A = this chain, B = another copy of it.
Amino acid sequence: MTRLGYLGPEGTFTSMALDRWPAADGAERVAFGSVDAALAALRAGEVDGAMVPIENSVEGGVSATLDALASGDPLLVTGEVMVPVTFVLAARAGTTLADVRAVGTHSHAWAQVRGWMGARLPEAVYVPTLSTAAAAETLGEGHEARTAAAGPPPFDAAVCAPAAATLHGLEVLADGIGDMQAAVTRFVLVARPGSMPGPTGADKTTVVLFQRDDHAGGLLELLEQFAARGINMTRLESRPTKASMGSYCFSVDIEGHVRDERLGEALMGLKRICSEVRFLGSYPRADRQRATVGPQASDAHFAAARDWLGEIRDGRA
């Protein structure tokens, strides 16, 4: 039976991403307290895959995931899931908005509801928790009994996903409290190498690029490797390499699959000029949108050019 790790506990947005992942049906779900723990278990073979947040996350995702993928034993992204982010303010039955003196939630969620809080609960104290779901759980029935806590929860209300409020029997004091409507978090399913999905025509590829040295114009040279092959980039994030202040690598998403000719050639070009290129996977896009391909950059155009070159090299043209 397949075992899939995720950033838990049950009720996190990551658990909702796993709900939406078709291949997770029938799999055993294993919650982890951090992205690092989930990916370590994956590397150790204790689970067969792991769902983790990667972009614009509310659960502490982006940096932790990007950094964990960029170093250590190779792992591959094999799919992505988008989850709309909706926050509620939830509390034990009987609590009213006027009763709320302290609010518990993950720091990233707190950052996304500051506007609402400033307007409606300007006096409320913020108490950080390990996750939004953990905040809900702390207020849930039987928490004190289960954990032998020394006293009542250190906050009166939790900011969490609607599902987490339901799961822990909380009442919703207010919903849709996120400052950004239409917020979405992107999650990726990560696996060990050896299980790359084939091209579908609507794929995305993720790589991490380490510059050979930090010379002026270095990033320009990297981007020109994509431009020269008609490749569209959809995300670029610089991340410190941790070697020294100001030393960066670049985490990049590009449209297309590593088996597409243009991507293969671009990645070879980057491999030559970078000190390291870390391939993190080619996988179908969640939105099924077909890749933007630059003029004359389809596989057919590459094949025609290769035939032409072969004829020239053989003296036939």
Interface positions of A (Cβ within 8 A of B)? 33, 36, 55-56, 60, 63-64, 74, 82, 107, 111, 114, 126, 128-130, 150-152, 154, 180, 182-184, 186, 193-196, 212, 216-217, 219-220, 223-225, 227-229, 231-238, 240, 242, 244-246, 248, 258-259, 264-265, 267-269, 271-273, 277, 279, 292, 294-297, 301-302, 304-306, 308-309, 312-313, 315-317
Excluding A220-B224, A224-B227, 12 further A-B contacts by CB distance (< 8 Å) are: A55-B245, A63-B111, A82-B245, A150-B152, A183-B242, A186-B245, A217-B227, A219-B223, A223-B223, A228-B228, A229-B269, A237-B237
Determine the distance from Cα of A64 to Cα of B129 in the docked complex, in whole angstroms.
18
Knowing A130-B128, A227-B217, A245-B184 touch, does A259 contact B295 (C-beta < 8 A)? Answer: no
Q: Known: A224-B228, A301-B272, A306-B268. Is A236-B216 also a contact (CB below 8 A)?
A: no
Contacts of A126 in B (CB 8 A): 33, 130
Chain B residues closer than 8 Å to A64, beta-carbon distance:
111
Task: Offer 15 A-B interface pairs, CB within 8 angstroms, sorted by A.
Answer: A64-B111, A128-B128, A150-B150, A184-B245, A193-B317, A217-B227, A220-B227, A225-B228, A228-B269, A236-B238, A238-B238, A264-B309, A267-B312, A273-B296, A279-B317
Across the interface, which residues of B come within 8 angstroms of A74, CB to CB? 317
Q: How far is the CB of A238 from chain B (nearest CB, A)?
A: 5
Interface residues of A, dominant DSSP: mixed
What residue in chain B is nearest A255 (Cβ atoms)?
B216
Closest Cβ neighbor of A195 among chain B residues: B315
Q: Which residue in chain B gives the minimum CB-CB distance to A130?
A: B128
Q: How far is the CA of A297 from the CA of B235 in the complex (A)?
A: 27
